[in-house]
Structure 1
Amino acid sequence: MSVINISSNEQFNNILTSSRFVVADFYADWCGPCKAIAPVYDSLASQLTRPNHITFTKINGDQQTELAQAYSVRAYPTFIVFENGRKKQTVAGADPRQLNEVIQKLASEATKSDGAAGDADSGAGSSWLGATVAKGYSDITDQVDAKGLELLNRDNERGEPRVLFDGGKPSGLSGKGKGKAEGKSDWVESDTDEQLMLYIPFQSTVKVHSVHITSFAASGEDNEDEDDDEVPMRPKTVSLYSNRSHVLGFDEADDIPAVQTVEIKPEDWDAKTGTARVDLRFVKFQNVTSLVLFFVDGDGDSEKLRVDRVRIIGDAGEKRAMGKLEKIGDEPGE
């Protein structure tokens, strides 16, 4: 059967992770319009399903109440289209024409994306990830407000804060030592000592599950003309603060308890991608409008710290409270 009936949160999250596009039909057994449009949905699914690329699902909202609430389903039927685990479009109501248009457009985009897949490594527009994304979550780095970024104690001869959130592959992957382009690098380094204070505002309220930190500490060969204390280190201790209205000063951070402090161990760094995945206490990072990452120290004795990329993993957008569910197309009392 082309349509997959969802029986648990875990099953649905696994599908969101494994399939590029997912269509979810939220319905209820008592909903007349749901039954009327079901043959149309089933027909589209049978024509367009492509394993691990386009997946069609049905979710009984009365039985899977957590999923209905998580995706703000307020009426039946509601169709939601996901791309790479993130909500892309919603169709509310039993409108066959609108549903057909949305799903046919989805199929067209999927076909185009297949043709462009071979160019994904070429650069612009691609989103590079150096670590695995936790099931049920997605890369929400595009929610970062780049104009509001602040980075204290950075070396001005290196890159600006926005390079940390660039979607392209870091030059460190190719073994390019200094990686400078017109005098600037695609990473940041600390200046007077090993500490960095990074302020990250978001365009919307988000939930943060984990942070991917990439750091390619330059080798001695790349810095043969520099003193040992100038050879940059990878971060070791990172303190996180949420919902601050501005970047914290270093003295200020000492007086404010961090929401969470983590220590990145040597074995946490992926040898190929130079990336460490830092899992957070998810319950502590709900309804987040900004993050402050305080890079406290590094994994050596240098006075320089280097960070190449930061990716934010979680869930974008506010989750509205579960309201009264109504049948779209049915009059009250029917």
Structure 2
Amino acid sequence: MSKTIQIASPGQFSDLLKSSRIVVTDFYADWCGPCKQIAPIYEQLSASLSRPNHIAFVKVNVDTQKEIASKYAVTAMPTFMIFKQGQVVEKVQGADPRKLQAVVRKLAAEAEGGSSSSGFGGSSGSGGWRIGDLPKGYGDVTDQVDVKGLELLNSDSQFGGVRVLFESSKPTGLAKGKAAESKTKDWVESDTDEQLMMFMPFQATLKVHTLQITSLPATADDDDEDEVPMRPKTIQIYPNRPHILGFEEADDIPATQSITLTEKDWDSTGTATIPLRFVKFQNVTSLVIFVVDGDGEGERVRVDRVRIIGETGEKRDLGKLEKIGDEQGE
């Protein structure tokens, strides 16, 4: 007998997210050929890994449950989302059996290992390195960033590009042992001075509740403190700009919100959680984040990760859902 749960209402899905620690969700449509092709594999995973109140496998028909599909910005079939403690931690688009099996079994193994971390989960399963709880009623919407449209001004090319800021993987700055010896510079540093200007467009209209910025400057090994990058201090935020601002242009435009961070704002993972004036960030299609200066006397600022917490806009055109083929899998 199948253990997969067919979702019949938004309330049923919401209750399940609260009652089961991990919820694997198959967003499908009856007219979608690739959805039918991968369905037997999904059922096999469900039969072998389902555990009451712990790991649940569900199916959501996007044609009959449009409210749920809209809430999670599902625009292509099939889409698989894995929720951990009510938040999306993995997303797989397309009929890719190997990738689906890999991410599901990985999370199931973590659950079997008794992991009880309440850390934030990103858009991939390695995002649980953050600490604290998400604001009630809101989730991680970083996966709505349109990475193709990202821009970053005054960044040093010796370090990671702007896309690295939105990865959910644990920064190497937090790694220990052999991982700490990695030469991968998975962070961003400013170049000619301490200022950074970033433009991030979104794939959907968002309600942005909170920003999280992670900064992990290294400890100085010598007396030259100017060589050690600083954490951001003053940050200005501009929503709904059509393009990135120039530094002089930003001086002439009042920011919608300006934040000054102090040492006590950074937690043990090097992350500062910045609540926004929510009423000012209700219908956001893009954000410009301007790091005005750093906290110290150095000449460079370092940023490792950026995370956006909020809610995806409800207005989606579900009439233009795509079919995603199974060319990635066999």
- C-alpha spacing 1:179/1:287, structure 2 compared with 1 (3 Å): farther
Gaps of 5+ in 2: 1-10, 26-49, 59-65, 72-79, 92-102, 116-122, 317-330
Q: Is the 8 A contact 2:202 2:285 kept in 1?
A: yes
What does residue 288 of structure 2 align with?
292
Q: Deviations over 1:281-303 (max 9, x none)?
A: 12211221111111111111111
* Cα offset, 1:72, TM superposition: 6.9
- Within the alignment, does 1:243 sit opposite 2:240 as a pair? yes
Matches within 5 A, 1:236-275: 236-271=233-268, 273-275=269-271
Contact 2:124–2:168, Cα closer than 8 Å, also in 1: yes
Closer/same/farther in 2, CA of residues 55 and 278 from structure 1, 3 Å limit: farther
CA drift at 1:240: 0.7
- Report the AA paired with residue 275 of structure 2: D
SS of residue paired to 1:311: strand
Residue 28 (structure 2) aligns with: none
Tell me the alpha carbon deviations over residues 225-246 of structure 1, each in whole angstroms, 9 at most, x when there is no partner: 8x32221011111111111111
Aligned partner of 2:53 among 36, 47, 51: 51
SS in 1 for 2:243: coil
TM-score by length of 2: 0.62
Alpha-carbon RMSD across the aligned residues, in angstroms, is 4.5
Displacement after TM superposition at 1:69 (Å): 8.3
- Residues 1:209 and 1:255: Cα distance change in structure 2 (over 3 Å): same
Pairing 1:67-106 to 2, within 5 Å after superposition: 83-84=82-83, 85=87
Q: How far apart are 1:82 and its partner, in Å?
A: 7.9
The alpha-carbon deviation at position 151 of structure 1 amounts to 0.7
**Which residue does 2:108 correspond to in 1?**
114
- Give the CA deviation at 1:15: 5.5
Contact kept in structure 1, 2:209 and 2:277, CA below 8 Å? yes
Residue 196 (str. 1) matches residue 196 (str. 2) = yes
Q: CA deviation at 1:83?
A: 4.8
Cα-to-partner distance string for 1:220-273 (whole Å, 9 max, x where unaligned)? 12xx38x322210111111111111111111111111111111222111112x1
Q: Is 1:281 aligned to 2:277, yes or no?
A: yes
- Could you give the per-residue CA deviations for residues 78-133 of structure 1, whole angstroms, max 9, x where no partner exists? xxx985346x9xxxxxxxxxxxxxxxxxxxx977741365799xxx9434252432
Q: Distance in 2 between matches of 1:215 and 1:153?
A: 17
Q: CA deviation at 1:20?
A: 3.1
User: Could you tell me how far apart the structure 2 residues matched to 1:17 and 1:281 are?
Assistant: 31
Identify the residue that residue 93 of structure 1 maps to in structure 2. Answer: none
Structure 1 letter corresponding to 2:236: S
Q: Which residue in 1 is equivalent to 2:212?
A: 212
Q: 2:160 touches 2:186 (CA, 8 Å); kept in 1?
A: yes
> CA–CA distance in 2 between the matches of 1:118 and 1:157?
40
Q: Secondary structure at the match of 1:128?
A: coil
Task: Give 2:284's aligned amino acid.
Answer: V
Identity %: 51
In the alignment of these two chains, the number of paired residues is 256
Name the CA shift for 1:314/1:14 in 2 (closer, same or farther; >3 Å): farther
Q: What SS does structure 1 have at the residue aligned with 2:296?
A: coil
How far off its partner does 1:143 sit? Answer: 1.2
Counterparts of 1:51 and 1:262, CA distance in 2 = 41
Whether 1:313 aligns to 2:309 is yes
1:317-332 alignment, distance < 5 Å: 317-319=313-315
| Residue of structure 1 equivalent to 2:125 | 126
SS at match of 1:172: helix
* Distance in 2 between residues matched to 1:319 and 1:152, nearest whole Å: 32
Contact 2:20 2:53 in 1 (8 A): no
Residue 309 of structure 2 aligns to a residue in which SS?
strand
Secondary structure, in 3 states, of the residue corresponding to 2:249? helix
Deviation string for 1:140-196 (max 9, x for gaps)? 111111111111111111111111111211000015899664xx6100101111110
1:20, 1:135 → 2: CA distance?
18
Tell me which amino acid in the other structure corresponds to 1:159.
G
Paired residues of 2:19 and 2:53 also in contact (CA < 8 A):
no
8 Å CA contact retained: 2:146, 2:200: yes
Alignment partners' CA distance in 1, 2:146 and 2:70: 25
Kept after mapping to 2: 8 A contact 1:195/1:296: yes
Residue 200 of structure 1 and its aligned partner are, at CA, apart by 0.8
Deviation of the 1:16 alpha carbon: 4.6
Stretches of structure 1 that go unaligned for 5 or more consecutive residues are: 1-8, 24-47, 57-67, 74-80, 89-108, 321-334
SS in 1 for 2:250: helix
Return the TM-score normalized by structure 1: 0.62
Alpha-carbon distance change, 18 to 136 in structure 1, aligned in 2, over 3 angstroms: farther
Matched with 2:22 is 20
Q: Secondary structure at the match of 1:162?
A: helix
The change in CA–CA distance for 1:115 and 1:127 in structure 2 (over 3 A counts) is: closer
